[in-house]
Amino acid sequence: MTTEISKEYTPTRDEFAALLTESLAKDDVFEGSVVKGKVVGIEKDLAVIDVGLKMEGRVPLKEFGVGGKLGDLKVGDTVEVYLERIENALGEAVLSRDKARREESWTRLEKLSEKGEKVTGVIFNKVKGGFTVDLDGAVAFLPGSQVDIRPVRDIGPLMHQPQQFQILKMDRRRGNIVVSRRSVLEETRAEQRADIVARLAEGQIIDGLVKNITDYGAFIDLGGIDGLLHVTDMAWRRVNHPSEILNVGDTVKVQIIRINPETQRISLGMKQLQSDPWSTIEAKYPIGSRFNGTVTNIADYGAFVELEPGVEGLIHVSEMSWTKKNVHPGKIVSTSQQVEVQILEVDPGKRRISLGLKQTQDNPWDAFLAQHPKGTEVEGPIRNITEFGLFIGLEGGVDGMVHLSDLDWQKAGDEVIKDYKKGDTVKAVVLDVDSSKERISLGIKQLGGDPADALGKYKKGDQVTCEVIQVQENGIEVRIADSDLTTFIKRSDLSRDRSEQRAERFSVGQKVDGAVLSVDKAARRIAVSIKALEIAEEKQAVAQYGSSDSGASLGDIFKAAINKKRDAEDGEGDEEESA
């Protein structure tokens, strides 16, 4: 008889795990979740936790925040733990209190972040670029720029102290949380500033502490809020740098000038607590009066002079020297120098005073005119040559100008100026001095007599003897004897006879006679014609030796005139011999 032995079915390990997982899932117990468990025992530094379904796991006591000691944790307590694995190689559940706390924190923090509420945490470590913060189980990153409103040199006092933070960013998938302590401080400060600003009013006088000094002013602590005292509101006088008046730590009395309710910025003033020296400026500094002052600042366009504390005037570069032009003011005056100035203009509205330095010195053009009246001969070097004349250096540091038209009587100025060069010493005559325009007019041609004066002794029809000085194709240039007058006889005036109207028949140095055609004193011209003289002599001969009805030819008339002239000359010779 065959006996069959029935065997009970035993599931494999994997099948058992799957069945267990399925069973646990029905009770919301699954890997990666936070479950409640009961402390069933404490073994040295471990707590034995029963999470149900006869599953137990061990969790280090330090994860319960008791530092390895029993503390308040005891058998029978119910705690929440994170189920990492249902069963490990030892058949125990793998549990973590830290991860449970982290999951709890993330859930709580996400809700707070959505509402924009602050969270409490502790800075416990320093890392690259910032610090780590414990947010009751969740670790967050605090960037260095978000620690405080101002850079913090020593983070020590802030470490391990519960503080409030604002969540800036959360990424649960990556496990990243970024927080800010600065935003909390700014919000708190803004609330404090709003309360303080509400208690302040423009025009109010208040004591403050100098907190910081910059190039443009000083920040004054008004008791929880800072106000700016600009350098221009420290004193009525010019202040180059706030450190001239204030030091960090000084207690000062200031007046609130302006409050911006939107930005909560407060502008302060110190000079407003003193009387304004500009209120009576016109009566105190009348135009034309002279005062002594101190040079406080030098710029490219002039120098500032302090007449009294709070009152400065400007000497424009054009009013610094009579003779030094295009020179930097720093080469004429220096900072802290005491100078005498003259009031030129006062504008209380714009708080400006125009001063003159050169006005306190003698006008060199007036002094020159006093020593060199018109017509005086002067001498000096040529300082500059321009297209319109020469500039000559004169006594007293002034220059005189010789215009092109005053270089020569006869020649064109643009031709004569080529004979001069810079540095040459020349003589000239003072023609005019205009002190208001700072001009001196000189003349070189006036050193000699005006050749045009000789024109007065000539009239139309006079016979003159000339010397040929140049022969040209269209005529000859001649100089009238016993004078400096020159003129040009054109080809048509060279002879009565057309065949003789040739310039080449004359030579330089040859003497020729002609008759004056015209005299123009205004244009300084005299016109001479050989042809006109020949015609005049012909008419004279006709009138003397012939008549219109005598029947004599023109040749006979000239022959008779020549013979008569010859006989007269012979007679004079006989008289001389008999004598």
When pLDDT is cut at 50, 70 and 90, the band that residue 339 belongs to is very high
Helix or strand (DSSP H, E) at 165: strand 162-171
CATH 2.40.50.140 fits 13-101, yes or no: yes
In the numeric block, the tokens 């302090």 are attached to 306
Range picked from 17-31, 251-265, 288-302 for highest mean pLDDT: 288-302
What is 452-542's CATH number? 2.40.50.140
Give the residue-averaged pLDDT of 123-130: 90
Whole-number pLDDT of residue 92: 66
CATH architecture assignment, domain 200-273: Beta Barrel (2.40)
Q: Around 558, how many Cα atoms within 13 Å sit in the side-chain half-sphere? A: 8
Residue 155 pLDDT grade (very low, low, confident, very high; cuts 50, 70, 90): confident
| CA-closest candidate to residue 43, choices 31, 55, 56, 53 | 56
- Higher-pLDDT residue of 424, 104: 424
* Residue of 172 and 479 predicted with greater confidence: 479
pLDDT category of residue 292 using cuts at 50, 70 and 90: very high
Q: What is the pLDDT of residue 362?
A: 85
Between β-strands 205-213 and 176-180, what pairing exists: parallel, antiparallel or unpaired? unpaired
Both tokens of 228, joined, read 């700016």
Cα separation, 532 vs 519, whole angstroms: 15
Rounded Cα distance between 119 and 180, Å, is 10
**Per-residue pLDDT, 8:** 53
Amino acid 576: pLDDT: 45
Helix/strand/coil for 513: strand
User: Does position 32 have pLDDT exceeding 70, yes or no?
Assistant: no
pLDDT higher than 60, residue 239: yes
What residues contact residue 371 under an 8 Å CB cut-off, 6+ apart?
395
d(C-alpha 466, C-alpha 464), whole Å: 6
Which tens digits make up the pLDDT trace of 500-513?
889 999 999 999 99
Decide if 182 contacts 190 (C-beta within 8 A). no
Dist. CA 121–CA 136, nearest whole Å: 7
What average pLDDT does the segment 505-526 reach? Answer: 88
pLDDT for 68 equals 38
Q: Domain 118-186, what fold? A: OB fold (Dihydrolipoamide Acetyltransferase, E2P) (2.40.50)
Helices (DSSP H) in 238-290: which residue ranges?
281-284
- 545 vs 199, higher pLDDT: 199
- The model's pLDDT over 168-182, given as tens digits with 9 standing for 90+, comes to 988 877 878 899 999
The Cβ of residue 480 has, within 10 Å, a number of other Cβ atoms equal to 21
Q: Is the pLDDT of residue 158 over 60?
A: yes
pLDDT > 60? residue 548: no
Rounded mean pLDDT, 485-509: 90
d(CA 564, CA 452): 39
> What is the average per-residue pLDDT within 60-71?
56
Could you tell me which of 358, 303, 306 has the C-alpha nearest to residue 331?
303
Residues of the chain with CATH 2.40.50.140: 13-101, 118-186, 200-273, 277-360, 364-447, 452-542
At 318 the three-state DSSP class reads helix
CA atoms of 314 and 304, how far apart (whole Å): 5
Strand partners, 47: 42, 59
**Predicted pLDDT of residue 333:** 93
pLDDT band at 10 (very low <50, low <70, confident <90, very high): low
- Does the domain at 364-447 match CATH 2.40.50.140? Answer given as yes
Statement: residue 230 has pLDDT above 80: yes
Give mean pLDDT, residues 60-87. Answer: 64
In the predicted structure, residue 490 carries a pLDDT above the cut 90: yes
- Please give the pLDDT value at position 494: 92
For residue 404, which phi and psi values (nearest 5 degrees)? Answer: -55, -40
* Bridge partner residues of 121 (DSSP): 163
Tokens coding 162: 């519960």
**352 confidence band (pLDDT: 50, 70, 90):** very high
In the numeric block, which tokens belong to residue 18?
């799957």
Q: What is the number of alpha carbons within 13 Å of residue 431 lying toward its C-beta?
A: 18
Q: How much of the chain exceeds pLDDT 70, in percent?
A: 82
User: Helix 530-545 to helix 554-578 angle, to the nearest 10 degrees?
Assistant: 80
Q: Average the pLDDT over 77-91 and give the result.
A: 66
Confidence band for 328, pLDDT divided at 50, 70 and 90: very high
Query: What local confidence, expressed as pLDDT, does residue 4 receive?
Result: 42
Give pLDDT, residue 79: 75
Q: Is 242 helix (H, G, I), strand (E, B) or coil?
A: helix
Does 23 or 319 have the greater pLDDT score?
Answer: 319
Per-residue HEC secondary structure of 169-230 comes to EEECCCCEEEEECHHHHHHHHHHHHHHHHHHCCCCCEEEEEEEEECCCEEEEECCCCEEEEE
pLDDT value of residue 73: 74
CB atoms < 10 A from the CB of 143, how many? 15
Residues in Cβ contact with 201 at an 8 Å cutoff, skipping those fewer than 6 apart: 256, 259
User: Which pLDDT band, with edges at 50, 70 and 90, does 313 fall under?
Assistant: very high
Is residue 341 over pLDDT 90? yes
Contact call for residues 489 and 528 (beta carbons, < 8 A): yes
pLDDT at residue 489, rounded to an integer = 93
29-43, 265-279, 551-565: range with highest mean pLDDT: 265-279
Tell me what pLDDT residue 559 has: 59
- Checking 184-191 for CB contacts under 8 A at 24+ apart, the result is 184/118, 185/148, 185/149, 186/149, 189/149, 190/264
Q: Are the beta carbons of 183 and 172 closer than 8 angstroms?
A: no
Give the pLDDT band of residue 564 (cuts 50, 70, 90).
Answer: low
195-to-198, 246, 267, 484 alpha-carbon distances in Å: 5, 28, 17, 101
pLDDT band at 571; cut points 50, 70, 90: low
Highest CATH level, class, for 277-360 = mainly beta
- Which H or E run contains 566? helix 554-578
SS3 78: strand
* pLDDT value, residue 579: 39
